[in-house]
Chains A and B, each alone.
Chain A
Amino acid sequence: NAGVTQTPKFQVLKTGQSMTLQCAQDMNHNSMYWYRQDPGMGLRLIYYSASEGTTDKGEVPNGYNVSRLNKREFSLRLESAAPSQTSVYFCASSDQGAAGYNSPLHFGNGTRLTVT
């Protein structure tokens, strides 16, 4: 049981290049999330998908797009990478169900992205 799998683990991009970060979960969770982690700033939510077929913006969505491909997969795309997007990116999933009920997040091991 792999949990949440992210690819790639490491990536270096030049300013202006594009790339897609992949995420897949095998826990049959409804909800998926993308966070970025920067020193001294904790984890900040970029986008989330409450259920298959829906996506919404989080705290820091500018410069990113997402696709909920199916229930298992949620990808994050950088169309034109900037140095400010140098960060560690985490995908997470949860079994979020009824409104008002909070369930734990399960995280992948992250993608370390450097934009030069």
Chain B
Amino acid sequence: GENVEQHPSTLSVQEGDSAVIKCTYSDSASNYFPWYKQELGKGPQLIIDIRSNVGEKKDQRIAVTLNKTAKHFSLHITETQPEDSAVYFCAVPFNTGFQKLVFGTGTRLLVSP
């Protein structure tokens, strides 16, 4: 099956700094790479995703970059704000005829004012 490693497990930054979270995966056939944000007491919510035919995708202050050769992808958050504090999960599809997402172990991001 698919193996997904996510680092770091915790990340503390000052407001306005940038934050980077990285995930590595094992299946070279994987072609879809989403990132989810989970706020306290809520379910994860998709914030950005990228498909394997592009190397980078941006949406305002967040971006995802993909290196298919090295089998890793990263979430970049610029100009961090306190409301960015949450747990972030990467995920990779494990395709055996039907998409099933395998999640990383999560990164707790704390943005201090």
Residues of A within 8 A of B (CB): 4, 31, 33, 35, 40-45, 48, 50, 56, 58-59, 90, 92, 94, 96, 99-110
Given contacts A41-B105, A42-B106, A104-B49, contact A110 B98 (CB under 8 A): no
CB-based A-B contact count at 8 angstroms: 65
Do A45 and B105 touch across chains, with their CB atoms under 8 A apart? Answer: no
Q: Using known A-B contacts A99-B97, A100-B95, determine if residue A107 contacts B103 with beta carbons closer than 8 Å.
A: no
Interface of A is mostly: loop
Size class of the B contact interface (CB-based, 8 Å): 20 to 34
- Closest A residue to B9 using CB positions: A40
Give the complex CA separation of A99 and B97 in angstroms. Answer: 7
The verdict on A42 contacting B89 (CB below 8 Å), with A50-B98, A99-B98, A100-B95 known, is yes
In the complex, A41→B106 CA distance in Å?
8
Which of B1, B43, B44, B46 has the most A CB atoms < 10 Å from its CB? B43
Distance between B20 CB and nearest chain A CB, rounded to angstroms: 19
Interface presence of B31 (CB below 8 A): yes
Is B99 in contact with chain A by the CB < 8 A criterion?
A: yes
- A102 and B103 within 8 A (CB): no
B103 touches A42 (CB 8 A): yes
Contact A109 B41 (CB under 8 A): yes
